[in-house]
Amino acid sequence: MRDNSQILQSMRSLLKLRGFKSSGTTFHSAAPNQFIDVINLQGGVRSLAGRCAVNLGIYIPEYEVVPGKVASPHKEYDCVIRARLSTLVFGEDVWFDCSDPGAAELISNLLSSHGLPWFERLSTLAAVAEELKAGRLSNRVGWGMHAAILKDAGETETARSFLRGLQGPSATIIEAFAASIGIDLN
């Protein structure tokens, strides 16, 4: 079994040309709009040992989960929007075999054809709001962030409708959250 060093080298070669910097197995790029695109090569453990997955994230500083906590370089798990590359491409979670001689090239090709265009498509708050309205990001963004992004993108009525339609959280929690972002649900 080989480690993931060949895959990382291939990713570094591709992503360096696109302005990404690396720290260990994580790559990040500050986009012109201040969103930070994050790519992480996650190594498998236990039954997934010898395999890896590629995680994507978009860090939006205005939506820091823990205010005042400025992590740099940013981690994929701190991102507002998260996706797994294989899920974007294949519609399911796929872990790549690190010992496969073609894995490095495959992952780089998938990043070029699907990952990087995903970041480009979601490079503004308005674009993120459109994806949320279309239901293409609903399972990748928490409900509070979902509503806040819609409101901040000028989609207050859509945010209000979204919050009114929530089933999971209690009505009290939803109303308190709505009030905290300036939305009256009554």
Contacts of 137 by beta carbon, 8 Å cutoff, 6+ apart: 81, 122, 128, 131, 146
Which pLDDT value is given to residue 182?
94
Tokens of 103: 């894995």
- Written as one letter, the residue type at 168 is G
Contacts of 37 by beta carbon, 8 Å cutoff, 6+ apart: 20, 28, 29, 31, 56, 57, 58, 59, 119
DSSP for 88-110? Answer: HHHSS---EETT-TTHHHHHHHH
Residue extents of the structural domains in the chain: 5-122, 127-180
pLDDT (tens digit, 0 to 9) for every residue of the chain, 186 residues total?
A: 347 889 999 999 999 999 899 988 999 986 665 789 999 999 888 878 889 999 999 988 877 655 555 555 678 888 889 999 999 999 999 999 999 999 999 999 999 999 999 999 999 999 999 999 998 887 778 899 999 999 999 999 999 999 999 988 899 999 999 999 999 998
Please tell me the distance from the alpha carbon of residue 125 to that of residue 100, in angstroms, as a whole number.
Answer: 38
Which pLDDT value is given to residue 157?
95
